[in-house]
Structure formats: C-alpha cells, structure tokens
Amino acid sequence: MPGRIEDYALIGDLETAALVGRDGSIDWLCWPRFDSDACFAALLGDTGRGRWLLGARESNVKVSRRYRDNTLILETRLESDTGAATIVDFMPPRGKASDIIRLVIGERGEIDLCTELVIRFGYGAVVPWVTRLEKGTWQAIAGPDMLLLHSDVEIKGENLRSVSRFTVKQGERVSFVLTYSQSHLPPPRKPNVDHALADTEHFWREWVAKGQKVQPWPEAAARSLITLRALIYSPTGGIVAAPTTSLPEQIGGVRNWDYRYCWLRDATLTLLAFMNAGHFEEAEAWRQWLLRAIAGTPEQLHIMYGIAGERRLTEWEVPWLPGYEKSAPVRVGNAAHAQLQLDVFGEIMDVLHQARKGGIATLETGWSLQCQLLTRLAEIWEQPDHGIWEVRGPALHFTHSKIMAWVAFDRAIKDAQRYKLDAPLDRWCALRDRIHRQVCERGFDSARNCFVQSYGSKHLDASLLLISQLGFLPADDPRVLGTVRAIEERLLRDGFVQRYDTEVTDDGLPPGEGVFLPCSFWLADAYAMCGRLDDAQALFERLLALSNDVGLLAEEYDPASQRMVGNFPQAFSHLSLVATACNLAHAKKPAEQRSEAAISRR
C-alpha cells in the first residue's frame, strides 16, 4: 500500500525524478526520462509493481526528514530505542550515467534495517532477468533497459525480489547504488559515493547561490525553486508539470492525468518565477525550448508538448495498474494535447514579451512566428474552446480564453511599439478593443456584478481572479472587485479556492475534486492587487502550511480529509507560490509585471 501523497519527497538528476516515501520506499521512478515507462510503479498499485525499500525493520521507529540545506539531497533520520541512523538519498545531476545513491550512516547504538528491491519495467509489468556479476553487484535486464545494483551488504533473491536484512552500528556507513543503462551497452562503472555526494551538494548550493533570496519566505521559495529546477529536463530546457501520472484529484475518482509533459500555459509563470529569482539561464533555456516546440505552421500549434517538443502524446489506460488507492484509470499520455485552448496564444505572447522586457531575448527573436500566430488567432478567437481547465465536456466561449486572446494582441502591440517591430498595428489595436468590448458585454453578468465562466453562464471560475493581474482591467474596477467577492462567496472551501464548481460545470467528468492550490495563490495575488495585503498574507501563510514536511505541494488539497490530491510535486503550485511570495515581498512583483499596473497599498 503506498503512503499518502504528502508522505513523499523528491530526488532527481535533472532528467528524471523519484518519489521516496517516509518509510524509505521509492515507489515511483520513470527511467531514464521523466516520460519513460516506470520501473517503480508501487505508487499506482502495490509493492509488486516495483519499488525500492530501504528502511527500519522495527515498527516503533521515529522518522524525521529534511533536505540538506539548499539541495535536493534527502535525509531520513531513524531513531529507535537501540540506536539512530540517517539515510541519505540522492541522484547526482546526470552525467554519463544515471544513479540513485542511498547511504546509511550509523549515528548511535545500532539499528536493524532492511532493503527490498523490486524492479518491474514497463509500468510494473515486466519482470527482469537478474544475475549476480561479482560480489555486491547485481544486474537486472529486460529488453532495452538495464539496472545495476551495487550493495555493501549481502543481497539475496526471494520471490523475484532482491532483499537484505542488516544492522548498522554507530560510525558505520553502508551504501547502495542503483544505475540505469541501456542493456546493449557495457555496464557503467560504480561511482565513488563520497565524491558523488560532495559534487551533488556543491551543484545544488551553487545553483541556489546564483539566485536571489525571496524575503520574507526564503526557505519556502528556495524549496519551490529547487523543485522547479528538478522538474526541468536539462537536455532541452522543457519543464514537466509534475513527475507523476494519475495521482487522483479525488481519491477513488477518475480525474487522473499524466503530467509528465510541458504545458505552454505554465510558460509565463515558469519564466517569471525563474527571472524574479535571478535564474536567467533556466528562463532562457525555457524560452528556447518554447520557440523550438511551437516552430512550424500556426495551424498545428499544440497546447502541450513532450519534454523534447514531441507532439504525439496519445492517451491510453494501463489496465494492469489499479491506481493510487484504487483511483482508476491510470493514464499514460494526455488527450488534452489535441484540444483547442485559446489561452495558450496569450501565454506565448506574454512569455516572449516578458523575456524581451527581462533582457533575455533579442528584440526580433521569434517575431515573425509571433506575427503568424496572431494571424491565426485573429481567425479563430471567436470559436469555442476547452479552456484553461482543459474540460472534457463541450467546448464553450470561456471568458478567460477570450481575455487571453486580448492578452495576445495587447503584448504584441506593446512589443511592436516599444521595440519598433514591423506589425499591422491598426488591425491589431482594433481587434484588441473588439475582444475587450465583447468580454465586458458577454462575459460579465451585470445583475450579479461579476465576470462569469463562459459567455451567458451563471457559473464562476477561478481563472477570473487573473483579470487584473493580466492587465485586462484595473484591480479597483468595481467589476473586478465584484468578481473577487463572488468567488469568495461561491468558490471557497475552507478558505481555499476551487477552480469551478464541478457540480454545475459540465466538464465531462463525474463531480468532485480538491481545492486547486494555484488558484488559491491567485486569490492572494488578487487581494494584494486590490490593497487587501493582510488578507493576502494570511491566505499565503495558510497555503504554505499545507506544504509537507519537506516543503512540497501537490496540485490540489482535500480539506475534508486534510490530504493532498493530484499529481505531485506540481510545478504550477510551486510556480504560483514563488510568484505570490514575490508579490507579497514587494520585490519585483510578477502580478505587477504582467499587468504593468501598480499594486495599490493602503
């Protein structure tokens, strides 16, 4: 049985990542890439679907965890009546090989431990052929994949699992190294554990030191930035929305999606989060990724891509995996990739606008592609779409989508004017005004004094919290204030924000999901923008308190069961945390950057 979602911590090597439970079991790992088949899939089934346990043999052991300061090196401390030990788990940033290193350090007395390695390639389906190469080295092969285990303790095979029971005494160190390689290549050499640990620590500390501290929440912001950095696939600069698939948005439900891909939507916030924290290399890598991914004819623009820009992300269900706490189906691929979501045009224009403003792009870079995208948008912006939430119900005229169409023209007009770029400015300005008028007429309910989810609808949608942040209307406009009030009245659950009411919005799925953490950060931003700084700070701190013991957030939270739900850790949540922290810190204020309006303060 897997742990609660919040029981997991993340380790990664900048090309993939693993989830380590409080009990010391690595229950999720796709190797060698984020989007490869999982070889540990116990998270979505049981231990027989692949995992690597390294933990205490006794049950009355006190467990505490932390990351080594400013690193992605996890330390799990075990304390029993007889002794104490720390397990240090990490993946060195990818060089030639990809390794998971687990080092046990005996600290006091002695403590009984065990390890159980169950390798199941192909999302838990394929049992490998395991052979002993030499003392302490085991090789597991199936098809194209090979794993090598180097162990300081004697391992034996038991029921298709590699197991060991051992005792660690004060001052002793026991290490395990698991390495991935393609099976046709000679087995890679075992890394030196101490050197790898020192290099990994140095890598992360140096990376963090390059950025700026986000006061007054430097630890929470740094942990979010490290997590975001760990979700970037280094060879291409693409960032996955999360390293997991199918962690449910409702326990036992069907809202289970594969997030191991790159969404254009998340682009603006990614770029802003890194730029605001002083990490320009990642922002530049992301911008380059974006331009490569979307290159081609604008008719073929996708809303999401694979980590190297792949377009075929066909969704299928994994029948042999029962799902996290029986939340089926488990999905691989994501059918949302084929949807029309008009907002991505606005996200692209905004991200390139911010990149120019931030000085990480030459003025002309990508401009002709942008012009072609706007020509396409001018043709289709009046079509219904599936919106920011990628609903699987009928396409609608989502108000947020139309606002983002306005953003697309607005940012391009500003760039053309500011940098003297060639553009049909009269046509774009007329269209920008027309979209604005249409949204204010058809997306606004004057009887209730609020914007609504889609044209003519009575429903609300948390994406409307972005109206002033996007610069569409000022934060003190009565229509914006009315919308914030209406969302407070109708979309709050225990003080956190739902994306929309799944009972009334036809999103093609049975109702029920957690509160959506990025939207809750947006409410804090909206409070800050309209001068309610105390409310903003209080909400932000309540959100921070939802983070698990090592500072990680899922996409959603279920206030009733007080559990995290949805994929984990989720980039959107961590991006939003950094953005709101910057807003509240009165630093560079991403909300202000996007809207180009001052955050008013009382």
Ligand X SMILES: OC[C@H]1O[C@H](O[C@H]2O[C@H](CO)[C@@H](O)[C@H](O)[C@H]2O)[C@H](O)[C@@H](O)[C@@H]1O
Q: Which of 229, 232, 237, 171 is nearest to 205 (CA)?
A: 229
Give bridge partners of residue 151 from the DSSP assignment. Answer: 176
The 83-102 contact track toward ligand X, x by CB under 6 A, reads --------------------
Note whether 532 and 540 are within 8 A (CB): no
Tokens found for residue 245: 């698939």
* Closest distance of CB 523 from ligand X, Å: 16
Binding flag, residue 305, ligand X (CB under 6 A):
no
Strand, coil or helix: 583: helix
- When asked if residue 500 is in the footprint of ligand X (CB under 6 A), the reply is no
Q: How many CA atoms lie within 13 A of 220 on its CB side?
A: 24
In whole angstroms, how far apart are CA 148 and each of 94, 96, 182?
16, 15, 11
Query: Binding to ligand X by residue 522, rule CB under 6 A?
Result: no
The verdict on 376 binding ligand X (CB under 6 A) reads no
Nearer to ligand X, 102 or 265 (CB): 265
CA distance 179 to 149: 7
Q: Is 388 in the site for ligand X (CB under 6 A)?
A: yes
Q: Is the Cβ of residue 200 or residue 505 nearer to ligand X in the bound state?
A: 505
Site string for ligand X, 539-578 (x = CB under 6 A): ---------------------------------x------
Tell me the closest approach of the beta carbon of residue 500 to ligand X, in angstroms: 10
Least distance from C-beta 317 to ligand X, angstroms?
Answer: 13
Choose between 14 and 344: whose C-beta lies nearer to ligand X.
Answer: 344
Query: Other C-beta atoms within 10 Å of 486: how many?
Result: 18
Among 381, 389, 444, 527, binds ligand X (CB under 6 A): 389
User: Shortest Cβ distance from residue 552 to ligand X (Å)?
Assistant: 15
Closest to ligand X by CB, 157 or 252 = 252
Q: Is 257 in the site for ligand X (CB under 6 A)?
A: yes
Q: 443-454 burial, b for 16+ CB within 10 Å, e for fewer?
A: bbbeebebbbbb
Q: Which of 79, 107, 390, 410 lies at the binding interface for ligand X (CB under 6 A)?
A: 390
Distance CA 433, CA 183 (A): 59
Residues 6 or more apart whose Cβ sits within 8 Å of residue 59: none
Binding mask 456-485 for ligand X (x = CB under 6 A): ------------------------------
CA-closest candidate to residue 502, choices 489, 494, 511, 490: 511
| CA pair distance 318, 185, nearest whole angstrom | 29
Of 392, 414, 479, 588, the residue at the interface with ligand X (CB under 6 A) is: 392
Pick between residue 266 and residue 415 the one whose CB is nearest to ligand X. Answer: 266
> Which of 94, 265, 287, 353 is in the footprint of ligand X by CB under 6 A?
265
Closest contact distance (angstroms) between CB of 392 and ligand X is 5
Rounded to 5 degrees, φ, ψ at 170 are -50, 130
Q: DSSP labels for 265-319?
A: TTHHHHHHHHHHTT-HHHHHHHHHHHHHHH-S-GGG--SEE-TTS------EE-T
How many Cβ atoms from other residues are within 10 Å of residue 494's Cβ?
11
Nearer of residues 213 and 392 to ligand X, judged by Cβ: 392
Give the one residue of 80, 334, 498, 580 binding ligand X; rule: CB under 6 A.
334
Query: CB-wise, 28 or 263, nearer to ligand X?
Result: 263
Q: Please name the residue ranges forming H helices in 530-588.
A: 533-544, 571-584
Binding flag, residue 37, ligand X (CB under 6 A): no
Contact string 185-224 vs ligand X (x = CB under 6 A): ----------------------------------------
- Please choose, out of 16-24, 132-140, 258-266, 542-550, the segment that lies near ligand X by the rule CB under 6 A: 258-266
Least Å distance, CB 249 to ligand X, is 6
Residue type, 24: G
Task: Write out the residues near ligand X by the rule CB under 6 A.
Answer: 241, 255, 257, 259, 263, 265-266, 334, 336, 388-390, 392, 572
